[in-house]
Structure 1
Amino acid sequence: MEQSGVGIAITGSGSATPRVSLSNEALSQVVETSDEWIASRTGIRQRRLAEPGCSLAKLATEAGRGAIEMAGISAMDLDLIILATSTADDLFGSASQIQAELGAFKAVAFDLTAACSGFVFGLVTASQFIRTGVYQNVLLIGADVLSRWVDWSDRRTCVLFGDGAGAVVMQANLHDRLLGFELRSDGTQNNCLNLSYQSQPKNLTDDVTINQGTFHPITMNGQEVYRFAVKKVPEVIEKALFRANLEVGEVDWLLLHQANQRILDAVADRLKIPPYKVISNLAEYGNTSAASIPLALDEAVRQGKIKPGQTIVTSGFGAGLTWGAAVFQWGR
């Protein structure tokens, strides 16, 4: 395959969310809480929830179509599809189903799991295929349907999460618009945020016992996750900016994983980034995990806030624990 450029450009974005919206007031009928309690602690006012018949693949496909259209290419131009998700419709993966739905029959497709860091990890993964000249057109989708795995009687977690999908098209380009990145993991803190498999022994024969079970709802140590994010995210952003040879003042937009408004505010404050440069839409959608960054990106692009050539620093952080940051310029 010919290599048209060693650089990378992000040329299109798309997003999709379920039609059903659950406000804080409505949620207070499900669990003991209130709009004031949720909004003051998280900044979230409502979240979108996938209704019966609304699959992860359906949301991801719709987001992907939007990104492909904006990029001005066709699905048949795609070489690779990466789906960043923790909530696939099928444990064997959902990326191939999305490939078929899009009609991207020349593209190879696979899932990538890094929870709320998934989109940033996927961005860096896709960039390696482009930089080596192997692939030229990549569709990266971040999508999650966390409502499947929320304990709706646990007000510490059920108030946080929503469902959605976001996508970008990345293309080989003569000018490199992915300026720097840094990825990190720390498995010693894995127990702070889990969606774990739990099983019961099952005797097959007198001599053979196996485990069978299912995944249990999300559990989270909110205070530890908050402390982790407020400390580690500014550090990883500074590393990515150093690799990009940029100062904080040269950044046009700060686009963080939409977990909690207090985290967004604390990170921006530590980096001395003014509030008008911080992109936030979590009031409307809650924490959509791997979808949150591309969902907010697409919204800001379509509203005309993010303009071609502007510099964006983005950071994802969450279960694993994983975290990472990337610096890129929008468009070619």
Structure 2
Amino acid sequence: MLDKILYNTVLCQTYSPCGKYLIAGNIYGHIAVFDLDTILHPVIELLTPDYNKPKHLHLLENKTQICSLLSTENFLIVGTVNEICGWDWKAIVQSKLSKPAWTIKISFHSKIDETDVNSLWFNEEENKIYAGCGDNKVYVYNLEDGRHLNTFDGHKDFIHSIHGRGKQLISAGEDGLVMLWDTRMGKSHNKLEPHKKANISRPEIGKWIGSVALDEDWIVCGGGPRLSLWHQRSLDAVMVFDIPDRGIHVSFFHDDCVVAGGAAKHLYQLSYSGEVKVELPVSATTVYSAALRTSPNKLLAIAGSSPEIDICTSFKYRDQVLHFR
């Protein structure tokens, strides 16, 4: 029988708050813990052949796929199917994974049997977790006691991506909708439908929106429709990016640029005016996760439909390749 880990797909990544570890989750229920100190600052005399493999490889008890990951000061938060679980960081960096410190059952609130927790966002100021799920809803929980606080209901198909800034949350889904929410009211106050714009629509790929992100004045989103930049107040599309992708799954803002990837041979860094500043070659045929850390030093980890995770200490080239196997 072929080793299924060779056909690995890594859906999500995050960093420990201390910056020493990269955590990655795959479709088989594995959580990989990479020791970045050893990988980035190797002592040649102590180097082993598997230095770029996980220091620990944990398998969840129910073996369900790891759909999303989130890092807080105290917890690694893991979104799977029907559940959000939190582990103390000390437990994650041990060789044997203990029971989670806490578990939130999405199935208590969802009307369908299996609900993937596809995207997580933590509002540190409010101490709340927002979960974009496969039952078309965003759930809000109090991190302190796990209490369900609210449900944002408006999407007509499953949610791929959520992101927040201050009192505002944005969500994107398979239905082609991008919805803006006031977190205080729990209501949507605006929406975008990129697939209805002729210069953005790609009906041969679909209307789904795979990734969305907010900054102070702008929204970036893409999926089946082309990657596009929207002005937040006017909701006008001010830039449609010309990159050779077959679907976008990753997009975020960094240093007055847009970083994006998906079903393409590269991860792109783009200016707001549409200039391609950097094309980073990637190991994955489709990128599902790009995790950026800016301190204690800059690090970008790129993962997707491959057992390899690309590591970049700048946006100019790929420094190393980690092996999730």
Please give the TM-score of this superposition, normalised by the length of structure 1. Answer: 0.30
Higher strand share: 2
Higher helix share: 1
Please give the TM-score of this superposition, normalised by the length of structure 2. Answer: 0.31
